[in-house]
């Protein structure tokens, strides 16, 4: 499941592609599965056909592509969320299409931007302004101001795991990195934020930033059969009944907030 570090890797791949996506004209829009588009499909096709890629941004797990009309200056944004299994490819247009391609943008210079998504959870939407989406989100996980984060954390009465998963609190953390962050901070997923002492709060803030930054630098997580390129080593996620890398106690898995939650019962202390 792509989270902030994986989405950031996608963005950097596109930005660093041999033939840049910036400046490309959209020659044809091909929607291969109707519900991949939120909103009116005809409008989506007509808005993008003939328009030019100008810019790519990311906030949390959301990607935003800015286009302008070929002769004008009016901008429109394409929002893309990969959800569980979405993947984005910039490929030569003659490359064979994958089985689960949901959306394909044919570009000039013989390129195609393809969105492939077996589970079909991913969504694409046109917005006039990215604030339509980011207005509901907290600060991006890579741009956290530690003092402000500390103050916001200390006020929260919620359990740490659901809090970290709340995109309105911090944008970009998903199930994998929530577990990894709590392990690094040595905090139990059931602990309440407002019961932490100042040292623990600081530890948590540091862990959020460190885990996300390290995962970005390693191009995402390295999990069997889930991701390809990433080298970020998971300590607890998906490792139930395996020894904790710190104390060798067996990693425990429980369902919390409806999510599989992995933690070390010895290293991670609970403050309810």
Partner DNA sequence: CACTCTACCTGTGCGC
Partner DNA sequence: TGCGCACAGGTAGAGT
139 tagged catalytic = no
Q: Closer to DNA by CB, 102 or 184: give it.
A: 102
Inter-residue contact 45 to 31 (CB < 8 Å): yes
158 tagged catalytic = no
Applying CB under 7 A, the span of 39-47, 202-210, 242-250, 254-262 interacting with DNA comes to 254-262
Least distance in angstroms from the C-beta of 228 to DNA:
13
Number of neighbours of residue 77 by Cβ within 10 angstroms: 22
Task: Kindly state the tokens that stand for 25.
Answer: 């004209």
Which one of 61, 87, 102, 114 is the catalytic residue? 61
3-state helix, strand, coil in the chain (%, to 5): 30, 30, 45
Which one of 28, 33, 83, 259 is the catalytic residue? 259
Task: Kindly state the tokens that stand for 166.
Answer: 């709340």
245 tagged catalytic = no
Q: Closer to DNA by CB, 98 or 266: give it.
A: 98
Least distance in angstroms from the C-beta of 259 to DNA:
5
Helix (H, G, I), strand (E, B) or coil at 40: coil
Inter-residue contact 103 to 32 (CB < 8 Å): yes
Least distance in angstroms from the C-beta of 190 to DNA:
9
136 counts as binding DNA under rule CB under 7 A: yes
- DSSP character string of 79-118: EEE-TTT-EEEEEETTSPPPTTEEEEEEESTTEEEEEE-T
Q: Closer to DNA by CB, 60 or 220: give it.
A: 60
3 tagged catalytic = yes
Greatest distance between any 2 Cα atoms in the chain = 63
Which of 50, 245, 260, 265 forms a contact with DNA (CB under 7 A)?
260
Handedness of CA 29, 33, 37, 39 (dihedral sign): positive
Residue list 144-183, contact with DNA (CB under 7 A) = 156-159, 162-163, 165, 167, 174-176
Give the Cα separation of 189 and 169 in Å (integer).
16
Residues that bind DNA (CB under 7 A): 1, 3, 35, 60-62, 81, 83-85, 99-100, 118-121, 136, 156-159, 162-163, 165, 167, 174-176, 192, 225, 255, 257-260
């Amino acid at each position: 499941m792509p989270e902030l570090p994986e989405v950031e890797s996608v963005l950097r791949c596109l930005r660093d592609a041999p033939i840049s996506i910036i400046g490309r004209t959209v020659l044809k829009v091909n929607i291969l599965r109707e519900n991949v588009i939120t909103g009116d499909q005809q409008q989506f096709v007509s808005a993008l056909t003939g328009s030019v890629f100008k810019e790519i941004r990311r906030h949390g797990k959301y990607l935003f592509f800015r286009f302008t009309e070929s002769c004008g200056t009016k901008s429109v944004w394409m929002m893309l969320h990969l959800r569980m299994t979405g993947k984005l490819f910039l490929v030569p247009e003659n490359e064979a299409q994958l089985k689960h391609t949901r959306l394909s943008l044919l570009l000039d210079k013989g390129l195609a931007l393809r969105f492939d998504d077996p589970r079909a959870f991913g969504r694409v939407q046109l917005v006039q302004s990215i604030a339509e989406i980011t207005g509901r989100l907290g600060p991006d996980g890579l741009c956290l101001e530690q003092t402000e984060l500390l103050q916001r954390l200390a006020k929260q009465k919620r359990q740490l795991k659901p809090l970290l998963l709340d995109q309105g609190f911090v944008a970009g953390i998903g199930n994998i990195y929530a577990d990894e962050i709590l392990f690094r901070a040595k905090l139990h997923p059931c602990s309440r934020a407002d019961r932490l002492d100042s040292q623990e709060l600081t530890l948590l803030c540091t862990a959020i930033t460190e885990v996300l930054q390290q995962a970005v630098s390693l191009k995402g997580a390295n999990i069997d059969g889930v991701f390809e390129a990433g080298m970020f080593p998971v300590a607890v996620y998906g490792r139930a009944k395996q020894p904790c890398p710190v104390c060798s106690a067996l990693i425990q898995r429980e369902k919390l907030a409806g999510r599989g939650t992995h933690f070390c019962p010895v290293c991670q202390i609970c403050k309810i």
